[in-house]
Structure 1
Amino acid sequence: MSDQGAGARAVSEPELELVHLLRGVTVEFGLRQAEFAALHHMHGTDVRALICLLDAGRAGTDATAGWLGAQLGLNSAGTTAVIDRLERLGHLTRTRDPRDRRRVLLTVDERAVELGWAFFGPLIENTVAVLRDFDESETAAVRRFLYAAHRALAPAP
């Protein structure tokens, strides 16, 4: 039996199973993020902000308050509140952009990275252990699916 609505396009059971499995993984990630936030006296949005900033650092993207607000879907006041909380907790730093002193760049403090690895490291290691059971072509297929699923779920630009 399918849980598709009456007006839904036909989706096969195997396809729907994959969507449900992806949703289950997403829910589990969300629950772990909520645990981390509660354990460290943060809001869920604070954890999302840290993830955005870490991703920006890996991508070489300059993270400003405006950029972060856009990533989180927050207005200026909400973004400032998140940044202030994270700075107060010692999780992020604000520095003047050396190329444009009018801009302030946001970076995750190394202590926050260590805190994150202490909590999420074992989960990451368990996930990597699962991937190590896949051969190169299977890993490529998983990667291709996850990139495509991410694009399909992300809001249109």
Structure 2
Amino acid sequence: MPTPHRPAAAPELETVHLLRAVTVELGLHSARFADSNGMHPTDVRALIALMDARRAGEEMSAGRLGAALGLNSAGTTALLDRLEGAGHVRRVRSAEDRRRVVVEVEERAVAIGRAFFGPLIERSVELLRGYDDHQRAAIRGFLEGVREAAATRG
């Protein structure tokens, strides 16, 4: 709320602040999931990356996963050992090149994630249905731009 000492923020800045608040809430939601399932937050990020790759029809090697998460080789190995030990992922031979090993998410992990995140996803989809195609394209463009800006190093 504006005061004589604190003027109103520009609408664009208000949106950026709201996005930051959403990011914090999503991070807390993810942390609750990790905590309730005995996971480290990086475990959750790894499972999300693996599910995204699966949805895109792409194989995910350990090296590619580690790079996506900003982990070195030892950290990636520890992560995969932890997730495999918990029954969340498996290492298998690549369908494209049998010499390569890729990581796949287990259906059990997908089901656990769906049970926890499903209501939030459904609510988000419901909210998006309230916008027309042009508005959804604008929202998508904004979010893609912010993601790209956040991923840019430098």
Structure-1-length-normalised TM-score: 0.89
1:117 aligns with 2:114: yes
Q: Secondary structure at the match of 2:100?
A: strand
Q: Secondary structure at the match of 1:62?
A: coil
Aligned partner of 1:6 in structure 2 is none
Q: Which moved more, 1:16-25 or 1:43-52?
A: 16-25
What do you get for the CA RMSD once the two structures are aligned?
1.5
In structure 2, do the counterparts of structure 1 residues 98 and 130 end up closer, same or farther at CA, with 3 Å as the change threshold? closer
Shift in Å, 1:76: 0.4
Gaps of 5+ in 1: 3-11
How many residues in Structure 1 have an aligned counterpart in Structure 2?
148
Aligned partner of 2:123 in structure 1 is 126
Aligned partner of 2:141 in structure 1 is 144
Identity of aligned residues (%): 58
Shift in Å, 1:42: 0.4
Q: Which moved more, 1:58-67 or 1:114-123?
A: 58-67
Shift in Å, 1:41: 0.3
Q: What is the alpha-carbon distance in structure 1 between the residues aligned to residue 103 and residue 113 of structure 2?
A: 17
Q: What is the alpha-carbon distance in structure 2 between the residues aligned to residue 98 and residue 142 of structure 1?
A: 36
Shift in Å, 1:130: 1.1
Shift in Å, 1:15: 1.4
Aligned partner of 2:82 in structure 1 is 85
Give per-residue Cα distances to partners, 1:2-55, cap 9 Å, x unaligned.
Answer: 7xxxxxxxxx62111111111111111111110000000000000000011111
Shift in Å, 1:147: 1.0
- Structure 2: which amino acid aligns with 1:44? P
Q: What is the alpha-carbon distance in structure 2 between the residues aligned to residue 89 and residue 155 of structure 1?
A: 33
Shift in Å, 1:101: 2.6
Q: What is the alpha-carbon distance in structure 2 between the residues aligned to residue 114 and residue 82 of structure 1?
A: 20
Structure-2-length-normalised TM-score: 0.90
Q: What is the alpha-carbon distance in structure 1 between the residues aligned to residue 152 and residue 68 of structure 2?
A: 11
Aligned partner of 1:153 in structure 2 is 150
Aligned partner of 2:62 in structure 1 is 65
Give per-residue Cα distances to partners, 1:78-137, cap 9 Å, x unaligned.
Answer: 000110111111111110113323211111101110100000000111111111111221
Aligned partner of 2:95 in structure 1 is 98
Gaps of 5+ in 2: 1-5
Shift in Å, 1:156: 4.3
Match of 2:21 among 21, 24, 38: 24
Q: Secondary structure at the match of 1:106?
A: strand
Q: What is the alpha-carbon distance in structure 1 between the residues aligned to residue 101 and residue 146 of structure 2?
A: 33
Q: What is the alpha-carbon distance in structure 2 between the residues aligned to residue 99 and residue 131 of structure 1?
A: 37
